[in-house]
Amino acid sequence: MRCIGRWHQLRPLQAARANPSPRGPAVSGGARRVDPRRLATEARAVRIGCASGFWGDTATAVPQLIYGGNLDFLVFDYLSEITMSLLAAAKAKSPNLGYVPDFVQVAMAPFIKDIHRRGIRVVCNAGGVNPLACSAALQEVVKKAQLDLKIATVTGDDLMLMKDLLKEVGITDMYNGSPFPTNVQSMNAYLGARPISRALDLGADVVVTGRCVDSSIVLGPLIHSFGWEQNEFDLLAAGSLAGHLIECGAQCTGGIFTDWHKVPGWDNIGFPVVECSSDGSFILSKPPKTGGLVSFGTVTEQLVYEIGDPCHYQLPDVVCNFSQVTVSEISGIEGGAVHVKGAKGSPPSDSYKICATYLDGYRATAVCPVAGCRSVQKGRRTAESILKRMQRIFKEVGLDDFRSVNIQVLGSDESYGEQAAKRTCSPREAVIWLAVHHMQKKALELFSREIAPAGTGMAPGLTGIVGGRPKVSPVLKPFFFLHPKQIVTIDIFMNGKHMETFKEDFNYPPLPALEENIKKEQDDLKDLPTGPCSYRLEELAYTRSGDKGNTANIGVIARHPLYYPYLRKAVTAQAVEEYFRHLIQKDDSDTMMVTRFDLPGIQALNFVLKNSLGGGGIASLRSDPQGKAYGQMLLDFRLRNVPDLKFLVEE
C-alpha cells in the first residue's frame, strides 16, 4: 500500500510447471490458455481476512476471523518503515531476532490447530529483517502441536550485502537527493505478490515474507487462486485495491472514522474480510456479531489513506489507477458491507523501491503533565529553562548543543498554528512535550537526568514524568532509492529447505499503455452558485490522513455528491498549504509543497503535503510524527459564501 516508486512488469512464472501443487498448477507461461484454477474458482469467491494492521494490533482479531470469517486465507500486515527500523535494531543485538514475535506466540500458537482444521492458509510479512528465524520459530510451534504444515519463507528483500557497492556508484535519495548514508542499519526492497503466489503454488500452508508492499499479502493469494496472469493489469490493480483496503485492519471497519460517534462496539471491533471474485470485484465486510461499521465512509477513508497520485499508485506488480473506483453500500448485512469495483492497471517499472535506514544520532522525549492556573505558560517556561540549563552543562563538559529540539505544550492548541481556538484564559491543565536530538548518546543521558529536578526547582503543578526518566533511543532515518529488479534474487524455502530461486524476467512483448478512460470534466467551478452559508469541512466531508516518510497525505471525501464541486472549488492545494504552513518546512524555491489529486469515482480529493512531518517517523521530534491528526485538524476548515447545501440535498 505504502510503496511509491517506479516499477515494471513480471514475466509469467515457468519454474516447476511440471510439478503442480495439490492446490492447483502454477501460472502458465507461453501461449495464452484458460488456467484450471479459473475453472475451479469461477463459481465461488475467495475470502481473505486481515487480522493485523501493524505490530501491536489487538489479539482479538484472530479468533473472530477464524471462527466467524469463513476464510480461505488469513493475512497479517506488521511492517512499516518505523517497524523495520526497530526490527533492524533488535537483530543487531541478537542474530535470532529481527522478526515479529507476536505473530508466532500470540497470533498463531494458541490457534494453530483450528487454523489447520479449517483449512485456512496464512500469509504474513512478520519476517521483518529475519524471515528465516520467524519461520523456524513457527515450526517449533507446529511441532509442539504435532501438526504437519508446510511453512514457506520468501527471502531476498534484504540488500545489506550490497551497501558498499551502492555507496560507490553514487546512489542518492529519490526524494531529496541526499548522498548514500554511511551508518546504514538495514536495506530492504519492497517485493511484490508473485513470490507469495509462487510459494502457495508449491503447497505452502503458511507463507512468511520479509519486506514487501503491504497489499501483496492479499494480491498473492488472489493470483494463486484465480490464476491471474502477469499482464492482466486491471485484475492485478483490483487485487491490490482489496489488499490496500484491508491491510490496516480495523481502519476500514470503523476505526479512526471521522464519524467515530456513530461506530458501535470499539471493544470488539470487527476486522475486515474481502470476498473477491475472479473478475476483480469484491465485497468488503466483517464477521457477524462484532463491533465496528462497514460503510461508504469507512471504506473510502481507507481508500485515500497513504496514497499519492491515485491515477498512478505504483506497486511492484502493477501501476494502479483508483480514480474511478466506486464503493456502493449493500443493504441488509449485519454491520454493513460494500461492493467495490473499477480499479484499472498498467505495466509497472523494472525497478524495486528500496528503503534503507541509517543511524543519525539519538533522541529523548520528556512528557510532563502540569496543572493549575496558567498551565500553558508554566509548561513553556519549564521546557525552555531545562534546555537553557542543558546548554550550560554541555558547554561545561565540552559537548555540542542539541542538533534540534521541539517544545509543544499539549492542550494549548498550538498544533493548529493560526487556526488555534481563541481563548480568553489559559487551560488549567496541560502537558509538556519536550523532545531533543543530539549526535552523542552521552549528551542525552545528561538531559534525561535533568527533567525530574524541574518538579522541585521550577514551576508549581508539575505532577510527574510520564514513563519515568526519558529513554535515550537511536534515531534511524529512511533513505529511499530505486534498484533494478533483475539484480534482486528471491529465494523460496519450505520448512527450512531451499525450493527454488525466483527471478524477475521481462522478456515478453509489452502491452501498449492503457488509455485513460476518464471523462475530463469541464472546469466550470467558477460558475458555481454562491450563497450566504458557511460550513465547517466536517459538515460536508470525511477525512483521513497518514504518512510516508516526511510526507503526509490527507484524503477528503464528500458526504454527498452534490458537495463535491464545492469542495473542489474551496479546498484547493493553496488553501491547504496555507492552513498547514506552520507545520510545512518550505524549501529554497517557490515550489508548492502541497499537491491535490481528484478521485471523482468516490467524489474525493487527496492532498500530498511534502516536508510536513518534521522528518517523519522515528526521526521526528513532534508529538504527531505520522500526521495522524492532520485530517482531524482540517475538519475545522471553513467553506464560506456557499448556498444552503443541506437544502439542495433534501430537494
DSSP string, 305-345: TT-S-TT-EE-SS-EEE-TT-EEEEETT-TT-EEEEE--EE
Say which residue the cell 510439478 belongs to. 19
Residue 69 lies in a domain: yes
**Partners of residue 320 on adjacent β-strands:** 313, 345
Q: How many residues does the chain have?
A: 651
Residue 556 sits in which domain range? 525-650
Q: What average pLDDT score do residues 458-480 get?
A: 93
The secondary structure of 452-494, three-state, reads CCHHHHCCCCECCCCCCCCCCEEEEEEEEEEEEHHHCCEEEEE
User: Based on the domain organization, do 257 and 293 belong to the same domain?
Assistant: yes
Question: CA 503 to CA 210: how far, in whole Å?
Answer: 17
User: Based on the domain organization, do 152 and 70 belong to the same domain?
Assistant: yes
CA angle 177, 180, 186 (to 5 degrees): 120
Residue 198 lies in a domain: yes
Three cell numbers written together for 177: 537527493
User: Based on the domain organization, do 330 and 375 belong to the same domain?
Assistant: no
Residue 22 lies in a domain: no
User: Based on the domain organization, do 430 and 546 belong to the same domain?
Assistant: no
In this structure, are residues 229 and 239 in contact, taking their beta carbons and an 8 Å threshold? no
Question: CA 538 to CA 224: how far, in whole Å?
Answer: 42
Residue 42 lies in a domain: yes
- Chosen domain end from 462, 477, 492: 477
DSSP symbol at 107: I
pLDDT, residue 234, reads 97
Q: What average pLDDT score do residues 31-51 get?
A: 66
DSSP symbol at 419: G
In one-letter notation, the amino acid at residue 81 is: E
| Residue 510, Cβ density class (10 Å: 0-12 exposed, 13-18 middle, ≥19 buried) | exposed
Query: By mean pLDDT, which of 110-114, 226-230, 390-394, 511-515 is the weakest?
Result: 511-515
Q: What average pLDDT score do residues 503-516 get?
A: 53
We report the CATH number of the domain holding residue 625 as 3.30.1360
pLDDT, residue 32, reads 36
Who has greater pLDDT, 43 or 622? 622
Question: CA 383 to CA 458: how far, in whole Å?
Answer: 10
Residues 6+ away with beta carbon under 8 Å from 457: none
Taking the model in full, what pTM does it have? Answer: 0.89
The proportion of the chain whose per-residue pLDDT surpasses 90, expressed as a percent, equals 78
We report the CATH number of the domain holding residue 433 as 3.30.70
Q: For residue 164, is pLDDT > 50? A: yes
Question: Predicted confidence band at 9 (pLDDT cuts at 50, 70, 90)?
Answer: very low
Residue 47 lies in a domain: yes
Question: CA 270 to CA 252: how far, in whole Å?
Answer: 10
Say which residue the cell 466467524 belongs to. 68
Residues 6+ away with beta carbon under 8 Å from 412: 376, 379, 420, 426, 427, 430
Q: For residue 404, is pLDDT > 80? A: yes
Question: CA 77 to CA 57: how far, in whole Å?
Answer: 10
pLDDT, residue 507, reads 52
Q: For residue 135, is pLDDT > 80? A: yes
- Chosen domain end from 314, 349, 384: 349
User: Based on the domain organization, do 267 and 375 belong to the same domain?
Assistant: no
Question: Predicted confidence band at 42 (pLDDT cuts at 50, 70, 90)?
Answer: low
pLDDT, residue 335, reads 94
Pairing of strands 313-314, 319-321: antiparallel
Question: Predicted confidence band at 81 (pLDDT cuts at 50, 70, 90)?
Answer: confident
In this structure, are residues 643 and 533 in contact, taking their beta carbons and an 8 Å threshold? yes
Question: CA 621 to CA 349: how far, in whole Å?
Answer: 35
Who has greater pLDDT, 268 or 419? 268
User: Based on the domain organization, do 427 and 563 belong to the same domain?
Assistant: no
User: Based on the domain organization, do 640 and 550 belong to the same domain?
Assistant: yes
pLDDT, residue 506, reads 61
Q: For residue 233, is pLDDT > 70? A: yes
Query: By mean pLDDT, which of 38-52, 335-349, 391-405 is the weakest?
Result: 38-52
Please choose, from the candidates 41, 485, 408, the residue with its C-alpha nearest in 3D space to the C-alpha of residue 221: 41
User: Based on the domain organization, do 571 and 458 belong to the same domain?
Assistant: no
- Chosen domain end from 477, 505, 537: 477
Residues 6+ away with beta carbon under 8 Å from 144: none
Residue-by-residue DSSP string for 16-40 = TTTS-BTTBPPPP-SS----HHHHH
Please choose, from the candidates 560, 386, 481, the residue with its C-alpha nearest in 3D space to the C-alpha of residue 165: 481
Say which residue the cell 469495483 belongs to. 341
Q: Detail the DSSP E strand segments found in 65-105.
A: 73-76
pLDDT, residue 334, reads 92
Residue 632 lies in a domain: yes
Question: CA 540 to CA 646: how far, in whole Å?
Answer: 9
Q: What average pLDDT score do residues 191-207 get?
A: 97
In this structure, are residues 320 and 240 in contact, taking their beta carbons and an 8 Å threshold? yes
Q: For residue 293, is pLDDT > 90? A: yes
Question: CA 167 to CA 204: how far, in whole Å?
Answer: 37
User: Based on the domain organization, do 231 and 374 belong to the same domain?
Assistant: no
Q: How many domains does the chain have?
A: 3
Residues 6+ away with beta carbon under 8 Å from 544: 256, 258, 301, 302, 304, 305, 554, 555, 557, 631
Three cell numbers written together for 241: 485495491
Please choose, from the candidates 293, 261, 287, the residue with its C-alpha nearest in 3D space to the C-alpha of residue 61: 287
User: Based on the domain organization, do 332 and 203 belong to the same domain?
Assistant: yes
Residue 506, Cβ neighbours under 10 Å: how many?
14
Mean pLDDT (the chain, rounded): 89
Question: CA 472 to CA 291: how far, in whole Å?
Answer: 39
User: Based on the domain organization, do 383 and 343 belong to the same domain?
Assistant: no
Q: For residue 516, is pLDDT > 50? A: no
Query: By mean pLDDT, which of 75-89, 463-477, 519-533 is the weakest?
Result: 519-533
What sign does the CA torsion over 529, 531, 537, 538 have? negative
Q: Detail the DSSP E strand segments found in 578-648.
A: 594-599, 604-609, 638-642
Please choose, from the candidates 518, 476, 485, 521, the residue with its C-alpha nearest in 3D space to the C-alpha of residue 504: 485
Residue 516 lies in a domain: no
Q: What average pLDDT score do residues 55-77 get?
A: 97
Residue 338 lies in a domain: yes
- 3-class secondary-structure state, position 539: helix
For the chain, state the CA radius of gyration. 26
pLDDT, residue 423, reads 75
User: Based on the domain organization, do 366 and 287 belong to the same domain?
Assistant: no
Residue 147, Cβ neighbours under 10 Å: how many?
14
